[in-house]
Amino acid sequence: MISFYPGPSRVYDEIPDYVKDAYKRGILSMNHRNTEFVKLCEKTVKLLRSRLGVPPDYTIFFTSSATECWEIIAQSLTQRNSIHFHNGAFGEKWHQYANRIKPGALSNPFNKDEELYPLKAIDTTDVICITQNETSNGTMVSTEIISRFREMNPDHLVAVDATSSMGGIVLDFKSADVWFASVQKCFGLPAGLAVLICSPKAIERCVALDERNHYNSLAFMNEMIAKWQTPFTPNVLGIYLLMRTLKIKM
Ligand SMILES: *Cc1c(COP(=O)(O)O)cnc(C)c1O
CATH number for 214 = 3.40.640.10
Q: Is residue 117 part of a domain?
A: yes
All residues at 6 or more sequence positions from 134 whose CB lies less than 8 Å from its CB, including other chains: 86, 87, 88, 89, 90, 91, 112, 140
Closest ligand 1 atom number to CA of residue 6: 15
Q: CA-to-CA distance for 67 and 9, rounded, in angstroms?
A: 17
Q: Establish if 127 belongs to a structural domain.
A: yes
| 33 Cβ contact list (under 8 Å, min separation 6) | 229
Q: Is the pLDDT of residue 56 over 60?
A: yes
Which among 182, 195, 242 is the best mutation to test ligand 1's pocket, defined by most ligand atoms within 8 Å of the CB?
A: 182
Number of domains in the chain: 1
Q: Are 223 and 46 in contact (CB under 8 A)?
A: no
Q: What is the 3-state secondary structure (H, E, C) of 100-131?
A: HHCCCCEEEECCCCCCCCCCCCCCCCCEEEEE
Interval 22-37 mean pLDDT: 95
The CA 180 to ligand 1 mean position distance, Å, reads: 10
Residue-range definition of the domain harbouring residue 175: 33-248
Residue 177 lies in a domain: yes
- Confirm if 171 and 186 have CB atoms less than 8 A apart: no
196 lies in a domain?
Answer: yes
For residues 59 and 177, the answer to whether their CB atoms sit within 8 Å is: no
Q: Which atom of ligand 1 is nearest to the CA of 136?
A: 15
The answer to the question of residue 222 being in a domain is: yes
User: Nearest to residue 236, comparing CAs of 33, 17, 10?
Assistant: 33
pLDDT of residue 3: 65
Report yes or no: 154 and 26 within 8 Å, Cβ to Cβ.
Answer: no
- Cα 48 from chain centre: 12
> Looking at the domain assignment, is residue 21 inside a domain?
no
Report helix angle 15-24 to 236-248, nearest 10: 120
pTM score over 0.85: yes
Q: Whose CA is nearest to atom 3 of ligand 1?
A: 66
pLDDT value for 122: 87
pLDDT in tens, 66-109: 999 999 999 999 999 999 999 999 999 999 999 999 999 999 99
Looking at ligand 1, which residue's alpha carbon is closest to its atom 14?
A: 163
DSSP category for residue 166: B
- Atom of ligand 1 minimally distant from the CA of 133: 13
Ligand 1 binding residues, C-beta < 6 A: 6-7, 65-67, 90, 131, 135, 161, 163-164, 182, 185, 194
- Answer whether residue 194 is part of any domain: yes
Q: Is residue 19 part of a domain?
A: no
Question: Nearest to residue 238, comparing CAs of 37, 3, 24?
Answer: 37
Q: In terms of DSSP H, where are the helices of the chain?
A: 15-24, 35-52, 66-72, 89-101, 143-152, 200-209, 218-225, 236-248
